[in-house]
A and B are shown apart, each in its own frame.
Chain A
Amino acid sequence: MDYFLSEEQLMIKELAAQIAREKVLPVRAELDEKEEFPWEIMRVLGEADMFGLYIPEEYGGLGGGILENCLAIEELSRVCIAVSVSFAASGLGAYPILLYGNAEQKQKYLPPVAGGKSLAAFGLTEPNAGSDAGGIQTTAVKDGDSYILNGTKQWITNGGEAEIYSIIAMTDRSRGARGASAFIVEKGAPGFNFGKKEKKMGIRASATRELIFEDCRIPAANLLAREGMGFIVTMKTLDKSRPGIAAQGVGLSQGAIDEAATYAKSRVQFGKPIAAQQAIQHMLADMTTQTEAARALLYAGCKFLDSNPKSISKEAAMVKLFATDTAMKVTTDAVQIMGGYGYMREYPVEKMMRDAKILQIYEGTNQIQRNVIGLELIKEYTGKKEGVAVG
């Protein structure tokens, strides 16, 4: 379908597709098998200016919005979402600085991210705090011109590979979620170390590690916004980044359709291609319809988010929920259409199905997305503000 994208947006889509085709496709199976971080592809994306899509021009970016970033993520995801998550997670790590950093913080940290010289990462999740941000146990205590961080972050995408980390830590535990604050921590800060690289079901080329803070001393100037703003920083960051996960879902679904439809045309059973069987046609028809609906919602959602409305939580959650549930279903059906071949590692759809599952889990499980949508809906109908939940 033609979404009447601008010339610049089409340019972004085309270049991202070219990078996916020429640089990602030939190595995706190997990267998955070896669980190897795609540094060479990150370098290519950096040289192509892709990391700066959503960053203002004054900080070395291209001054685009969420839609521009999502177009690039979608095209990369059509080939490999382990690559696209490594790319997108740098945005997740940079958004807190972009949204809440002061002039010096932005000037120092955004240009290297925009140029792809440094990757960023976002550290929120802990062993006992995922969706419930109030359960964060990592602490930050002010000591003169420094903060001292203690605690462990878990399952951090780009952990160990990134140079710049946005970290949520408690400055006042008695206040629960309202006692959380956001900090910028650089790789190499004294007392900042990494745990082992996690072994995952899918997105194996991406790096997921623990971040370990043991009396980690950082300059007090690395506090983002004010003490107690950590929870707000987190929510606003996730509102901006969730469409990126949806874009992964849309791209991945499209990639699975590409494989399944091509296979169905060439696989002959009972004297004709299986694509001629109505059972297969109906599956492909549903996969395509659902994917197009997810894409339409994604683009519409991005345009709405980019218009800077007051509240975007509901829309961001809806986009993420629908596109990632779609990806799980479409990739599962792609394996089904390809039968035994689909289950073999020789073909890419088994990887796509393994990869898809994480989309329903990270950046807020799809159950949490439904909570967000439900809560916003109730607010709309009562005009009353209540509790909150984040991913």
Chain B
Amino acid sequence: MKIVVCIKQVPDVADVRIDPETNTLIREGVPSIINPFDMYAMEEGIRLRERFGGEVIVLTMGPPQAEAALREAISMGIDQAVLVSDRAFAGSDTLATSYTLAMAIGKLGAVDLVLCGKQAIDGDTAQVGPGIAENLNWGFAAYVRKIEDAGDGEITVERLMDDGYDVVRTQLPAVMTVVKEINEPRLPSLKGKMRAKKIEIPVWSSEAIGADPERLGLKGSPTQVWKIFTPEFRRKGELLQGEPREQVDRLVAEIRRMNIV
């Protein structure tokens, strides 16, 4: 199997700060990590290679410093990495990003399966995975929690739903986004880390992937962000006064009013 895992480098913070002028993330001084959900996608890619043979290629679209994320991927046991990077990609929304990644995947030849994390922890849109599938016109399943079988041009997976799970079978090639229930990502190995230090990582420009310049970066991004803000967090508390009996009565009345019981 030839498996491609798309990953994203994201800021390592729970409370991301927004620049009020530009409505974009403030990235300065914030360390970068691989999007945690993508770690599960990479682990699943490696496990599929261990089950069915083949190779796992990791792909990221990002600035030159995203190379660090690719080297970390190699240290975990990924075979090859490609950085898709070009100034023309700057300002891409999820539409332009999925188009760009789909074009890069097209350049990789006969790919059987594309794996992504279910969403990135910075934007949280969960749109790029399905967007890639649309662009490639391949089968798609979101929230995959188990890959049951793959082979003979088909793949069978379990898709996590609110009230249980679906078993989905689709033709290969296909695109899947995975949830954290699917596996436990491994740690890097020393041999992997040493390989990661030395490996040559090719950088593909918009020209290299043969992309339509109109569909890239800001030009190819119809999304307009009007405002980004952190909802105000109000902690409401009320201290009940009086004799214990009164306090209990008021507490029970309050709980009833809130429809908790």
Contact = CB atoms under 8 A, between A and B. Distances in A.
A19 B186 CA distance: 11
A47 interface: yes
Contacts of A22: 187
A333 B130 CA distance: 59
Contact of A47 (B189, B193, B194, B197): B189
Interface string B189-214: 11101100100000000000000000
A48 interface: yes
Contacts of A48: 187-190
12 contacts: A8-B194, A11-B190, A11-B193, A11-B194, A11-B197, A15-B190, A15-B193, A19-B187, A48-B187, A49-B189, A49-B190, A62-B191
Contacts of B186: 47
Contacts of B190: 11-12, 15, 48-50, 53, 62
Q: Place the interface of chain A in its size category.
A: 10 to 19
Nearest to B186: A47
Nearest to A48: B189
Interface of B: 186-191, 193-194, 197
Contacts of B189: 47-49
A49 B187 contact: no
Contact of A7 (B187, B188, B191, B197): B197
A44 interface: yes
B83 to A, nearest CB: 22
Interface of chain A: mostly helix, strand, loop or mixed: helix
Interface string A123-154: 00000000000000000000000000000000
A44 B194 contact: no
Interface string A18-45: 1100110000000000000000000010
A44 B189 CA distance: 9
B191 A44 contact: no
A31 B197 CA distance: 35
A364 B63 CA distance: 56
Contacts of A7: 197
Contacts of B193: 11, 15
A48 B190 CA distance: 6
A19 B189 CA distance: 11
Contacts of B191: 49, 62
A127 B186 CA distance: 42
7 smallest A-B Cβ distances: which pairs?
A49-B190, A49-B189, A48-B189, A49-B191, A11-B193, A48-B187, A62-B190
A15 B188 contact: yes
Contacts of A49: 189-191
Nearest to A52: B190
B187 A18 contact: yes
Contacts of B188: 15, 48
Contacts of A12: 190
A88 B194 CA distance: 23
Interface string A294-325: 00000000000000000000000000000000
B96 to A, nearest CB: 36
Among B190, B191, B193, the one with the most A-chain Cβ atoms within 10 Å of its Cβ is: B190
A86 B195 CA distance: 28
A47 B190 CA distance: 9
Nearest to A19: B187
Nearest to B188: A15
Nearest to A18: B187
